[in-house]
Amino acid sequence: MATIKNKKISDFPKSTGPVRISTWKNRVIISAKGETGFVSTPSRKFNAARFSLLRKLFSPTRLFVKAGFAHFKGRPSDRALKLNYRSAFPQRSSSVKLCFPNIVFSEGSLPIPSNLKASALSSNIILFSWSDSFCADASLMVLLYNPELNQAIVNLSLSLCDTHHARLSYAPHWKGSSCHIYAALHGKNDNSPSVYLGLFPLNPSSLSEFDNSSLFFARKNRPYKRHQPEDFSVNGISGKMGPLNFFTKKGGSVIVRANPRRYTPQTLPEQQACHRFKIVSHFLYTMHPFVKIGFNFSNSTTLPHNAAMRANLSRVVGGSWPNYSILFDKVILSDGSLPSPTNVKTSLLLSPRETSLLISLSAPNKADQIIVGLYNPYLDTALIKSFIISQSLTSLLLPLPLSWIHNDSPTSNNNAIFHLYLSSVSQHSSFPKPTFLSSPSLYFPVTLHP
């Protein structure tokens, strides 16, 4: 008998959370919702494949879809699925493929600028041009979708070079691939229909500055694992399904909540471990752009933040509880086999308008970039920037924010010490995701006011 809080299985309703409870041949069957028992026909497989491809497309382009259907009632994603469920697949064949020119990302009555075109320049820039000017209260929104990486660049208010031209840069790791380009007008009360501008090959170019805030990735949805009803018979229940845990106790199967509320207070070792984990995780999230590249290995399936936590948790916490602190000289923000920069020296350049940190170094030959991270422990902020290595690179200039050197700032005292981290980086691959080779991070204390 399966019990939960001393209740019989017959006391349950037919549907409980993500499970469905029924009887079959005098046996109680617990199955996952969605188990229909019908045979999967070719028509059902074709419809499921269409739905899956559209959801995959609208995941990285969700911001463009939300703006394109913002003036309609209901969820924009549902409206986009309804319009493209049939039009995006004009031909029914064994291999289901998207017809990108037929996809609709925006809908409305605003007129589309005539002769709207896009062209790829030699560098990582897309040039947009049109003949007549559009409404004053409308803005041009642009979508660049990379089907190979399933990534998108969305700009909802493209800055104009003049009345008939605009430019947009794409991500450096997109070089060598191709992207589909869409454009539409976005107004206060209405939009224009989206326009497909074509498939453009992106010429390989050198790494340059790019605003990562406009780069959107697909959400990582966990695949739903379908189970057979016989796997959940009461006599063989085990494991977790949704918010319920199934296990055997005293010869019977028991169902309990997966995450029961804890009523007993934490012990002292548990409090100490939680405190150590919290302060290390908070510091690594502050330095996240540095960690994201420094621990992004090609042969690892671990997330960069988790790899950094594993490398730092047992070594960077000093002091006694509850006054724990970070040992900044022992922190590892990157790891790898690349050679590190040598002959590193730091100095301050003071001027009436700004203060900059000058870093003199010898860059290694095998690296492409130098990543610099400067952490301000008084304001709990970090300044992280990458520099491209060239033959003439002998020094790096890092301007400091005005809030760091203001007279009312906590860093205005003479004993203020910042924490500088350096690492050399080389891009290893760009497909299926960008991976990097890096060197072990170097640490240098920096005194702001000598």
- Whether residues 70 and 147 share a domain: the answer is yes
Query: Residue 9: its pLDDT value, please?
Result: 52
Q: Would the pLDDT of 225 be above 50?
A: no
- Whether residues 415 and 397 share a domain: the answer is yes
Residue range 5-22, pLDDT digits in tens: 444 455 555 555 566 666
- Whether residues 404 and 438 share a domain: the answer is yes
Q: Would the pLDDT of 339 be above 80?
A: yes
User: Which pTM value belongs to this model?
Assistant: 0.45
Query: Mean pLDDT over residues 135-159, rounded?
Result: 81
- Whether residues 301 and 405 share a domain: the answer is yes
Which is more confidently placed, 136 or 439?
439
For residue 313, tell me if it sits in a domain: yes
Query: Residue 331: its pLDDT value, please?
Result: 93
How far apart are alpha carbons 121 and 154 in whole angstroms? 19
- Whether residues 156 and 125 share a domain: the answer is yes
Query: Mean pLDDT over residues 317-322, rounded?
Result: 88
- Whether residues 91 and 138 share a domain: the answer is yes
Query: Mean pLDDT over residues 321-330, rounded?
Result: 90
Q: Would the pLDDT of 122 be above 50?
A: yes
Quick check: 420 and 373 in contact, CB under 8 A?
yes
Boundaries of domain holding 231: 9-35+226-257
Percentage of residues in the chain with pLDDT exceeding 70? 71
Q: Would the pLDDT of 151 be above 70?
A: yes
Query: Residue 207: its pLDDT value, please?
Result: 36
Query: Mean pLDDT over residues 110-120, rounded?
Result: 80
Task: Indicate the number of domains in the chain.
Answer: 3
DSSP 8-state class, residue 9: G
Query: Residue 416: its pLDDT value, please?
Result: 77
- Whether residues 236 and 345 share a domain: the answer is no
Residue range 277-301, pLDDT digits in tens: 999 999 999 999 899 888 887 566 7
Q: What is the mean pLDDT of the chain?
A: 76
